[in-house]
Amino acid sequence: MTEPRPVIAGVGVTHPPSMRQDDLWRDFFAGHYAGVQRGLAQRIFANSGIATRHAVVNPVLEDVSRWSTKARMERYLVEALPLGKEAVAGALDSAGLDPADLGLFAVCSCTGYATPGLDILLARDLGMSARTQRLFIGHMGCYAALPGLGVVTDFVAGRGRPALLLCLELTSLHLQPPTRDPQQIVAHALFSDAAAAVAVRPAGVPGPGYAVREVAAVTDTATADHMTWDVTDTGFRMGLSPRVPDVLAEHVGPLVHGLLDGQGLAVSDVDGWAVHPGGPRILDVVRDCLGLSEERMSPSRDALTAHGNCSSPTVLLIVDVLRRAPTPPRHIVALAFGPGLTLYAALLSAV
């Protein structure tokens, strides 16, 4: 018999103010790229699949493209603390937990750094115990939520105490100066800001939720240069090869089938899919490689349309939508992709 697994008992999500993609193009990026790949940039924005995005810094009101990295990091802390506090409080409330109950508080973020970090400052502000263990996971990019979930789940299983994971990204702080690089234009057309937190409790505690049954990964180091996130004097700069979907097509099928085979399940048994929407083509590749219907892909496409690519919180946003559906899925597979080139998958089952 399978050993009972820790359970996601609560999720909290928060977004900064929203912006329409068309308005962003018309009021800022059309001028930003005037004379520098303007036609290409306009096509990329129009074909992004995004209607609205979120940002702590609206470039129409405040152009940070030439800010120093130091200035961006100072702003990161100012903006991240209230967003993180709201997401964590939401996850704790929905799980019926007190901050002092937590044995571990883990934070994933690749868009800002400070010491003391969000883990310490939020633990202080929210009233977590001085004995709460903390972990900061940085620079893993869009897939960080799933290894983060694996870490907090293993802690809960091993220690028998609740834990909480916060994923928070403020990509709007890393707007770059105008460039002819298509990869940078794609990044500026896709990325968005958000915070998402999940509270995980030990197995056997009464209450609904999703058991984290397994987390699996594969990294293709031969394609490590296909997705990069470099620290520069003017913020962090994204590298995003157009060959990324081809690499995903090679690995996503074996990864998911291996994950499900180990749990005695097939793709047809999974009625909830939370696929990180790295872009429309990424979602098409996953759909085709796994033989999924558009109905199964719609929560991920809807997330891209409404929120853009929020990096590490995104897959948790989709899990939250699925768990709150009128008929929640019995099994959810969460998929995320990032630098490495790395693919992560997690199997969640309703309890």
Task: Read off the pLDDT of residues 250-300 as tens digits, 9 standing for 90 and up.
Answer: 999 999 999 999 999 999 999 999 999 999 999 999 999 999 999 999 999
Cα–Cα distance list, 91 to 11, 100, 126, 139, 242 (Å):
4, 14, 12, 24, 36
| SS3 track for the chain | CCCCCCEEEEEEEECCCEEEHHHHHHHHHHHHCCCCCHHHHHHHHHCCCCCEEECCCCCCCCCCCCCCHHHHHHHHHHHHHHHHHHHHHHHHHHHCCCHHHCCEEEEEECCCCCCCCHHHHHHHHHCCCCCCEEEEEECCHHHCHHHHHHHHHHHHHHHCCCEEEEEEEEHHHHCCCCCCCHHHHHHHHHECEEEEEEEEECCCCCCCCEEEEEEEEEECHHHHHHEEEEEECCEEEEEECCCHHHHHHHHHHHHHHHHHHCCCCCHHHCCEEEECCCCHHHHHHHHHHHCCCHHHHHHHHHHHHHHCECCCCHHHHHHHHHHCCCCCCCEEEEEEEECCCEEEEEEEEEC
pLDDT tens for each residue of 9-52: 999 999 999 999 999 999 999 999 998 789 999 999 999 999 99
Confidence label for 2 from pLDDT (cuts 50, 70 and 90): low
102 vs 182, residue with greater confidence? 102
159 vs 240, residue with greater confidence? 159
- The overall pTM is greater than 0.85: yes
Domains and CATH numbers, the chain: 7-201 (3.40.47.10), 210-350 (3.40.47.10)
Which residue out of 108, 110, 142, 167 is catalytically annotated?
Answer: 142
pLDDT of residue 4: 86
Quote the CA–CA distance of 61 and 234 in Å, as a whole number. 19
Sheet architecture: strand order including 104-109: 133-138, 104-109, 163-170, 193-201, 7-14, 210-219, 342-350, 331-338, 272-275
C-beta neighbour count of 124 within 10 angstroms: 11
Catalytic residue check, 167 = no
Contacts of residue 18, defined as CB under 8 A and 6 or more positions apart, other chains included, come to 52, 53, 54
Q: Averaged over 303-307, what is the pLDDT?
A: 98
User: Over 50: is that where the pLDDT of 1 sits?
Assistant: no
